[in-house]
Amino acid sequence: MNDVAVLVLGVRGGARLGRALASVSWAPERIVLDVTGGIDPSTLPPGVRRVDRPLAIDSAARAAWLLLLHEDEVAPPELAAAARAAIASGASAHRVGRAVTVGTGTLALPGAPVRLVRRDAARLHGRRDGSVALETGGRRAGRLPVRLVVEEAASLEEAVALLDADATAVAALLQALGVRPRLAALALAPLAGAVPVLAARGARLGWGRWVAAVLAGYRAFVVQAKLWERGVEAYA
């Protein structure tokens, strides 16, 4: 698909980033956005480029469309065909749902952030749940009939480490985009992160769902806390 460039929000790099990039190997352009500068370009697969300035994403790619992934997300094989059909539909922005793996089950999260947008209108923005999406530019967005799969950490220790690294990267990105820390966002962040997991459709996972919800809520809070910390340092 020559019309789509994939932008992956990098956090720590390594195997997790490698799986995200491999899942979109069909894209002729794959770009890693590394705002914190913690990813060694020499570790990236051949042909993958690295950028560190979020405001330059529209000039970093040549394709007409931009697809956004987070480092911990894996695209299903059918995403390529779904994106091709979406582009042909005439709409200029499209939402993509997300699913979270928890133990042996999968939870389909409600809602869907905008992840596929025409490059000339693509702008990054932070969501209340601590994730990053693309803006529609006021355009009505369609929805792709596929879901990105958020990988589960192998252990609670790894989950906490990944959470901290991810929150650091997202907070740095939000600051670079000019987002100011707000007390209201800090207070509401845990609910914004946890509620979608609790409301997600999927198998009954018992405590697994509650643990996933707590981690999602805590992650959203840490993103806002780190943004607040960076803001205090910037204006000190």
The answer to whether residues 81 and 177 belong to one domain is: no
15 and 131 together in one domain: yes
Task: List the one residue out of 156, 77, 68, 73 whose CA is nearest residue 118.
Answer: 68
Average pLDDT value for residue range 155-170:
87
- For 65-87, the pLDDT digits (tens) are 999 999 999 999 999 999 999 99
- Does residue 56 share a domain with residue 167? no
Residues 127 and 53 in one domain: yes
Segments forming the whole domain that contains residue 185: 156-234
Give per-residue pLDDT as tens, 21-51: 999 999 999 999 999 988 988 899 999 999 9
Q: How many domains does the chain have?
A: 2
Q: Are residues 129 and 210 in the same domain?
A: no
**Domain check: are 126 and 182 in the same one?**
no
For residues 9 and 83, state if they share a domain. Answer: yes
Average pLDDT, the chain: 88
Which pLDDT score is estimated for 236?
A: 44
Domain boundary among 101, 128, 150: 150
CA dihedral sign of residues 72, 201, 24, 95: negative
pTM of the predicted structure, to 2 decimals: 0.91
Write the pLDDT tens digit of every residue in 196-230: 999 998 877 678 888 889 999 999 999 999 999 98
| Boundary of a domain, candidates 150, 175, 196 | 150
Question: Do 121 and 193 sit in the same domain of this protein?
Answer: no
* Cα–Cα dist 67/115, whole Å: 6
What count of Cα atoms within 13 Å lies in the side-chain half-sphere of residue 57? 31
User: In this model, does residue 109 exceed pLDDT 60?
Assistant: yes
The better pLDDT of the pair 181, 217 is held by 217
pLDDT at site 205: 67
Degrees to nearest 5, angle at CA 117 with 86 and 91:
45
- pLDDT above 70 as % of the chain: 95
Specify whether 133 is located in the same domain as 209.
no
Task: Show the DSSP H helices in the chain as ranges.
Answer: 15-22, 57-60, 79-88, 156-176, 183-199, 207-234
**Average pLDDT score over residue span 116-125:** 87
| Structural domain ending residue among the three candidates 134, 150, 166 | 150
Check whether 172 has a pLDDT greater than 70: yes
88 and 66 in a common domain: yes
Residue linked to tokens 């529609």: 136
Residues 37 and 64 both lie in one domain? yes
Specify whether the backbone of 38 is left (phi greater than 0), alpha (psi in -120 to 50) or beta: alpha
Q: Which of the pair, 134 or 231, is modelled with greater confidence?
A: 134
